[in-house]
């Protein structure tokens, strides 16, 4: 069968594992060792701890490390769990696999893992996976398994494999936790006890059978001796009969019968001898197993002693875990404090940015204040001009109304004159029509005509005068209308400018109001920030001890690893040792022999563990004292820095005058005067005040 068929069969078998981190399509996908590691971890998770499944790419060094670790664990599993000598296995060239992806060398490693799967505790699962494949794949995988078993030794491999299958069946019946080494050891010990009892019973039965066979054998020997003696007697009698010439047929028949019985007795004797040899070998094997059971009992006694040691170590470990949990909580609190410190610093930076923006806006408004005053003066002048123009416009309107009334009166007089003229013209026409109706009245007609002409002339003169006055009034009214229009235009322009100035003044007032509100809010925030600076500085002291905290964290991690290792060892043997202790109490005699050496060994182990735990306690106490000292030092430093920053902020506010000029920070100034009023009056008596004075002198010298 070709290597390609074997490789494809193994790839198909790997594909039956659904928990792999990546899909395996060909043999090259197995060169990094990650997929093979995951398969071995599924076979025995306690033995093969999974590695990181990160993509290592083409880095052959990382591949080499993974393959070395995998091959080492596989060989140890063959030797320590399966009981096969790993020296008989063909060692694959791991460097060729990692560098050149050599398929032949990779198949050697794959064959070892496949054989390990079918020889492990849960072999039925992986054999079922093989049976689910095609016939060609099954044939290729069986060839691989047979090649590895041939390397391990066919007789030893088959015998150990069959025995292991029987052991696994018993383990499945007796224990449900097959993957736990402690449970497996427990099950094997229980099985050895059961086998011991069965072997003792069978040894007793075989001893009784052996005695019976021995008795039968002795009886047959006695019978054989008797038959030989009878044969000798018969031969002597036959010889005498021959000498006498008298052959007795009956005696010959008796001799033949005795010979036949003698042959049967020899056959039975040989069969009994064979059975005796077999039973002797069986008794020797049973004796060997009984001695092994005695060794297992001694091992159980030793494990019971170790259980007591582990109990004592568990108590000390519980105390250490409690102390470690306390330090862990303190570290978590310090992490939260650092996070709060970062948030407070960000808020402080944002508040400072807003304060700077408000100051810039306030300066801009202060720069625009002269322009605002000029706008106010101009607005007042425009309002005065507006009032004066409104008065002149009212006077002009009064004159226009008077002229319009006079024009109306003139118009009415003109209408009356026209009516009078019309009536006079009608009278003249009537008089002309009458003509000479009366001859004597010609002179009277002439007189009346003259009178009418005079009246008409007077009316015409009045008409012309009225028309002339009317024309003058219309010219005056036109000039007044023109002046009115110009005044109305100027008024509209002035009103528009006034509206614009009012809107601008309103906007400026709103802006000033907003700036004052923002300044007040920032002043309040500034007061809150100054009030919380001490608390924030108390939080900030945690950052000063970052190096010490890192060092303590590393030491705690190291201690945690050691504790974890002890916990793992304790967990592996705790339940098993409890059961062994109970069984030993039931089976051991009251006065155990050889207990003095075990007791001395037990005391030495207990003393060693106590010494180690004492050293760990001393280390933890030293770390606690160091941490307390660092906390006290950093607390003092943080208080000093908080006081210095508060004092510096107060001096900067005094020098800038920002809070007093805008009406802000009065409360802060008052509190500052109350808190540090003794600085200018004389030397402070408190240590904190002296530190402030020292810092002021240093800052003054730098400036």
Indicate whether 518 pLDDT > 50.
yes
Encoded tokens for 585: 């109490």
Q: What is the chain's length?
A: 703
Which residue is listed with tokens 């037990």?
Answer: 602
pLDDT value for 678: 40
Compute the distance between CA of residue 676 and CA of residue 653 in angstroms, rounded to an integer: 14
Please state, rounded to an integer, the average pLDDT across all residues of the chain: 72
The answer to the question of residue 384 being in a domain is yes
For 288-325, what is each residue's pLDDT tens digit?
887 787 777 777 778 877 777 777 777 888 887 888 88
User: In the 8-state DSSP scheme, what is residue 27?
Assistant: G
Query: pLDDT class for 700, splitting at 50, 70, 90?
Result: low
For 142-167, what is each residue's pLDDT tens digit?
888 888 888 876 434 444 444 444 34
The answer to the question of residue 219 being in a domain is no
The answer to the question of residue 667 being in a domain is no
The answer to the question of residue 294 being in a domain is no
Kindly report which listed range (30-34, 44-48, 379-383, 639-643) carries the lowest average pLDDT score.
639-643
Burial class (CB in 10 A: 0-12, 13-18, 19+), 685: exposed
Q: How far is CA 551 from the centre of its chain?
A: 24
Compute the distance between CA of residue 445 and CA of residue 432 in angstroms, rounded to an integer: 9
Burial class (CB in 10 A: 0-12, 13-18, 19+), 469: middle
Which residues touch 30 (CB under 8 Å, ≥6 apart)?
A: 14, 24, 36, 106, 110
pLDDT value for 664: 40
The answer to the question of residue 487 being in a domain is yes
Phi-psi region of 657 (alpha: psi -120 to 50; beta: other; left: phi over 0): left
Q: What is the mean pLDDT of residues 27-44?
A: 85
pLDDT value for 593: 42
Which residue is listed with tokens 């066979």?
Answer: 213
Compute the distance between CA of residue 17 and CA of residue 29 in angstroms, rounded to an integer: 14
The answer to the question of residue 10 being in a domain is yes
Residue 411 domain boundaries: 357-434+442-528
Compute the distance between CA of residue 304 and CA of residue 317 in angstroms, rounded to an integer: 20
Compute the distance between CA of residue 426 and CA of residue 551 in angstroms, rounded to an integer: 137
Our CA angle for 305, 311, 313, nearest 5°, is 105
Cβ atoms of residues 169 and 158 within 8 Å: no
The answer to the question of residue 233 being in a domain is no
Query: pLDDT class for 574, splitting at 50, 70, 90?
Result: low
Kindly report which listed range (101-110, 133-142, 365-374) carries the lowest average pLDDT score.
365-374
Indicate whether 663 pLDDT > 50.
no
Q: Is 498 helix (H, G, I), strand (E, B) or coil?
A: helix
The answer to the question of residue 455 being in a domain is yes
- Best CA proximity match to 692, nearest among 674, 667, 675: 675
Indicate whether 94 pLDDT > 50.
yes
Compute the distance between CA of residue 681 and CA of residue 676 in angstroms, rounded to an integer: 10
Q: How many domains in the chain?
A: 2
For 603-629, what is each residue's pLDDT tens digit?
565 566 667 667 777 777 777 777 778
Q: Please say which residue of 145, 174, 203 terminates a domain.
A: 174
Distances (CA, A) of 667 to 93, 535, 674: 82, 20, 11
Share of residues in the chain with pLDDT > 70 (%): 68
Q: Please say which residue of 132, 148, 174 terminates a domain.
A: 174
Beta strands in 192-288 (DSSP E): none
Q: Please say which residue of 477, 502, 528 terminates a domain.
A: 528
Kindly report which listed range (235-249, 260-274, 453-467) carries the lowest average pLDDT score.
235-249
Q: What is the mean pLDDT of residues 114-124?
A: 86
Indicate whether 37 pLDDT > 80.
yes
Cβ atoms of residues 86 and 79 within 8 Å: yes
pLDDT value for 177: 39
Kindly report which listed range (50-54, 201-205, 410-414) carries the lowest average pLDDT score.
50-54
Which residue is listed with tokens 């005094």?
Answer: 654
- Identify the CATH number of the domain in which residue 77 sits: 1.10.418.10
Q: What is the mean pLDDT of residues 590-601?
A: 46
């Amino acid at each position: 069968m070709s290597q390609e068929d074997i490789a494809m069969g193994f790839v198909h078998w790997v594909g039956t594992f659904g928990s792999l981190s990546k899909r395996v399509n060909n043999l090259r996908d197995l060169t990094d060792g990650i997929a093979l590691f995951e398969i071995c971890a599924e076979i025995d998770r306690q033995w093969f701890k999974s590695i990181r499944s990160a993509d290592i790419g083409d880095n052959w060094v990382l591949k080499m490390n993974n393959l070395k670790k995998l091959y080492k664990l596989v060989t140890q599993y063959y030797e320590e769990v399966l009981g096969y000598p790993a020296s008989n296995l063909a060692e694959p060239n791991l460097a060729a696999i990692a560098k050149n992806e050599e398929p032949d060398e990779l198949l050697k490693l794959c064959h070892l893992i496949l054989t390990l799967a079918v020889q492990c505790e849960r072999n039925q699962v992986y054999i079922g996976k093989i049976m689910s494949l095609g016939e060609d794949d099954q044939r290729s995988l069986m060839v691989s398994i047979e090649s590895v078993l041939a390397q391990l030794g066919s007789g030893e491999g088959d015998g150990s494999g069959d025995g292991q299958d029987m052991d696994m069946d018993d383990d499945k019946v007796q224990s449900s936790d097959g993957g736990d080494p402690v449970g497996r050891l427990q099950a094997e010990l229980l099985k050895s006890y059961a086998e011991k009892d069965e072997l003792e019973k069978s040894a007793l039965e075989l001893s009784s059978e052996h005695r019976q066979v021995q008795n039968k054998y002795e009886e047959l020997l006695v019978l054989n001796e008797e038959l030989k003696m009878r044969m000798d007697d018969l031969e002597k009698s036959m010889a005498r009969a021959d000498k006498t010439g008298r052959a007795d047929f009956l005696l010959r028949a008796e001799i033949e019968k005795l010979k036949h019985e003698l042959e049967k007795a020899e056959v039975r004797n040989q069969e009994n001898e064979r059975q005796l040899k077999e039973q002797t070998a069986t008794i020797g094997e049973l004796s060997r197993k009984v001695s092994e059971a005695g060794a297992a009992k001694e091992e159980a006694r030793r494990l019971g002693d170790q259980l007591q040691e582990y109990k004592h170590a568990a108590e000390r470990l519980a105390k250490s875990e409690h102390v470690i949990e306390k330090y862990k909580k303190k570290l978590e609190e310090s992490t939260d404090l650092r996070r709060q410190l970062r948030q407070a610093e960000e808020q402080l930076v944002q508040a400072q940015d807003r304060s700077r923006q408000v100051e810039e806006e306030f300066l801009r408004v202060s720069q625009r204040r002269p322009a605002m005053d000029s706008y106010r003066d101009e607005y007042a002048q425009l309002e005065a001009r507006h009032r004066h123009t409104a008065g002149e416009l009212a006077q002009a309107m009064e004159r226009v109304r008077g002229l319009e009334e006079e024009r109306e009166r003139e118009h009415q007089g003109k209408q009356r004159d026209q009516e009078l003229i019309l009536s006079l013209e009608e009278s003249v026409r009537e008089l002309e029509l009458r003509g000479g109706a009366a001859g004597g009245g010609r002179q009277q007609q002439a007189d009346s005509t003259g009178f009418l002409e005079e009246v008409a002339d007077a009316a015409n003169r009045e008409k012309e005068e009225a028309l002339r006055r009317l024309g003058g009034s219309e010219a005056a009214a036109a000039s007044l209308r023109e002046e009115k229009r110009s005044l109305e235009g100027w008024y509209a322009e002035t009103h528009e400018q006034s509206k614009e100035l009012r809107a601008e003044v309103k906007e400026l007032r709103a802006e000033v109001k907003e700036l004052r509100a923002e300044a007040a809010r920032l002043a309040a925030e500034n007061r809150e920030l100054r009030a919380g600076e001490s608390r924030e500085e108390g939080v900030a002291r945690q950052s000063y001890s970052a190096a010490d905290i890192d060092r303590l964290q590393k030491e705690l991690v190291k201690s945690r690893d050691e504790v974890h290792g002890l916990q793992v060892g304790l967990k592996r043997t705790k339940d098993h040792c409890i059961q062994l202790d109970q069984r030993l109490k039931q089976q051991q005699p009251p006065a155990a022999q050889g207990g003095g050496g075990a007791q001395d060994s037990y005391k030495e182990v207990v003393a060693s563990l106590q010494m180690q735990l004492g050293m760990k306690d001393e280390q933890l106490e030293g770390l606690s004292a160091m941490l307390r000292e660092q906390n006290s030092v950093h607390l003092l430093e943080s208080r000093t820095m908080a006081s210095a920053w508060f004092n510096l902020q107060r001096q900067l506010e005094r020098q800038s005058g920002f809070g007093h000029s805008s009406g802000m920070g009065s409360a802060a100034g008052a509190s500052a005067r109350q808190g540090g009023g003794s600085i200018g009056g004389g030397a402070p008596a408190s240590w904190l005040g002296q530190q402030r004075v020292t810092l002021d002198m240093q800052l003054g010298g730098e400036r």
